[in-house]
Every structure is written in C-alpha cells, then in structure tokens.
Amino acid sequence: MGMISEFKEFISRGNVVDLATAVVIGAAFGKIVTAMVDGIVMPVIGFLTGGVSVSDWKYVLSPATVDAAGKEVAEVAIRYGAFIQTMIDFLLIALVIFLILKAYNRVRKPVEAPAATPEDVLLLREIRDSLKK
C-alpha cells in the first residue's frame, strides 16, 4: 500500500496537475496555430510567390525516372518548404505565448509598497533637524 499512497500523493500535487493541463492546452493551441498558418498565412505567401505552396518547395537532387525493368524510381529531393512552414508555425506559437505571458506578468505584477526608510537615514535626519534648531 505504500507505493499506491505515494503515487496518490504525487498525482495530487498541484504541479503535476498544472503541468498536465499545460501540456493538453499547449497541444490544442499548437493545432490552432497550425490551422491558422495552413489556412491563412501560407496561402497568402503562396499567392505572393505565384501560387506555389510553400510546403511544396523542394530542391530535386535526382528526378523520378524509370529503370530498365520499367519500375518507377522515386525522386530524391530536399523538401525545405515543409521545414520553412514548420518554422513559421513555431515562430507564431512562440510570439503568441510571449504576448500572453507578457500580459499575464503585467496583470500579475504586485503593487509594491514604498520601501521603508532605513534606520540610519532616519537617524541622520534627526541629527540634521536637531542641528537646524
């Protein structure tokens, strides 16, 4: 029973539940941003580049051919367009998370009370005021 009770204690900690919630929300948020990039950003970039989809950009090292037996040999290509699209996804996700955290920290920032005047400064002020009299 010791292991089960330790496991219950581990799961019931706030950090584990918060982390699990963050992972689920993060995955869902990633899907939203990916849909936005695929449906809005990339079509605009494709339009600006002459109708070519960014994810289809590639550098062909060896084009598709047919060998002597009549079997088709697939092309060998570096598909850098998919990489660029994934980088745009990442940058948008990072930007939105940055903006959310910036707003959260602004709201969360506690109002600081004015710092108490140090005792030596108070003593020096008293001496100054005494000398003025």
Domain assignment present for 128: no
Q: Is residue 108 part of a domain?
A: yes
At residue 111 the predicted structure's pLDDT band, cuts being 50, 70 and 90, is: low
Q: Give a yes or no: residue 55 inside a domain.
A: yes
pLDDT score for 110: 72
d(CA 16, CA 6): 14
Spatial distance between the Cα atoms of 72 and 65, rounded to a whole number of angstroms:
6
* Integer CA distances (angstroms), 127 to 120, 122, 123, in order: 11, 9, 6
CATH of the domain at 77: 1.10.1200.120
Q: Say whether pLDDT at 119 is over 80.
A: yes
Is residue 83 included in any domain, yes or no? yes
Q: pLDDT tens, 32-75?
A: 887 887 788 878 877 887 877 778 889 999 898 888 888 898 89
> Quick check: pTM over 0.85?
no
User: What's the total number of domains in the chain?
Assistant: 1
Label residue 1 by pLDDT band (50, 70, 90): low
Q: Is residue 122 assigned to a domain? A: no
What distances in angstroms separate CA 39 from CA 43, 46, 75, 93, one per listed residue?
7, 11, 28, 15
* 97 token code pair: 């998370």
Asked if residue 118 belongs to a domain, the reply is no
Structural domain range at position 8 = 2-112
